Amino acid sequence: AQSVSQHNHHVILSEAASLELGCNYSYGGTVNLFWYVQYPGQHLQLLLKYFSGDPLVKGIKGFEAEFIKSKFSFNLRKPSVQWSDTAEYFCAVRSLSSNTGKLIFGQGTTLQVKP
């Protein structure tokens, strides 16, 4: 079955530490990939997306992600986290073969950054 898996459910880091959140998907064919962030009490916001081209994608707030097709992965990274990065992070996949445009989300990762 098609699915999106985020390995880390809850991550706790100190400020200035580096971050990497894993995301793997199990779709065949061409996909579009997204990372969203949900700050406490707020709606989902797009961090970055990958459609095609350079597999290293840079997003807002210093985040980046690398698409590795052979590993079906799209891991999110940030070299130095801040307390304000405390939030819920969701990886999402859109399969272009389905033509519905629907996004399927991973389980989410709660990031807690300690000051």
Partner 1 sequence: GAVVSQHPSWVICKSGTSVKIECRSLDFQATTMFWYRQFPKQSLMLMATSNEGSKATYEQGVEKDKFLINHASLTLSTLTVTSAHPEDSSFYICSARPVTGTDYGYTFGSGTRLTVV
Residues of this chain that bind partner 1 (CB under 8 A): 34, 36, 42-46, 49, 51, 90, 100-108, 110
Minimum distance from residue 100 beta carbon to partner 1 (Å): 6
Name every residue whose Cβ is closer than 8 Å to that of residue 38 and which is 6 or more positions away in sequence: 44, 45, 87, 88, 89, 90
When the beta carbons of 18 and 98 are compared against partner 1, the nearer one is: 98
Whichever of 29 and 101 has its CB closer to partner 1, that residue is 101
Q: Which is nearer to partner 1, 102 or 114 (CB)?
A: 102
Q: Minimum distance between the CB of residue 38 and partner 1, rounded to whole angstroms? A: 9
Asked if residues 93 and 27 have their Cβ atoms less than 8 Å apart, the reply is yes
CB of 80 to partner 1, least distance (A): 26
Q: Is 65 exposed, middle or buried (0-12, 13-18, 19+ CB in 10 A)?
A: buried
Rounded-to-integer distance, Cα 26 and Cα 98, Å: 14
